[in-house]
Amino acid sequence: MPPSADEKKEKQAAAQQAVDILHEISTILNCQLDRRTLSICISMIENGVNPEALARRPSSRS
């Protein structure tokens, strides 16, 4: 049975709240990540990307 419109709204509200909380943490830690970037990272992690790989900064090779 597909989710109702109310269930979808609740799920979206919960996801938005999670992003807001993570953005506050990111701001406190001075990570310089905006909400959109955080949302992309969350989505990638939910789809199996290694979080440690996302956390690494690319090395600058000269």
Q: Is the pLDDT of residue 19 over 80?
A: yes
Q: Residue 45's pLDDT is what?
A: 95
Q: Are 34 and 19 in contact (CB under 8 A)?
A: no
Assigned token pair, 49: 């990307």
> What are the backbone dihedrals phi and psi of residue 60, each rounded to the nearest 5 degrees, phi first?
-95, 120
pLDDT for 61 beyond 90? no
> With b meaning 16 or more CB within 10 Å and e meaning fewer, what string describes 1-37?
eeeeeeeeeeeeeeeeeebeebbeebeeeeeebeeee
The pLDDT score that the predictor gives to residue 43 is 94
Prediction pTM value: 0.72
Q: What is the CA radius of gyration of the chain?
A: 15
- Would you place residue 62 in the very low, low, confident or very high pLDDT band (cuts 50, 70, 90)? low
In this prediction, residue 3 carries a pLDDT of 76
Average pLDDT, the chain: 90
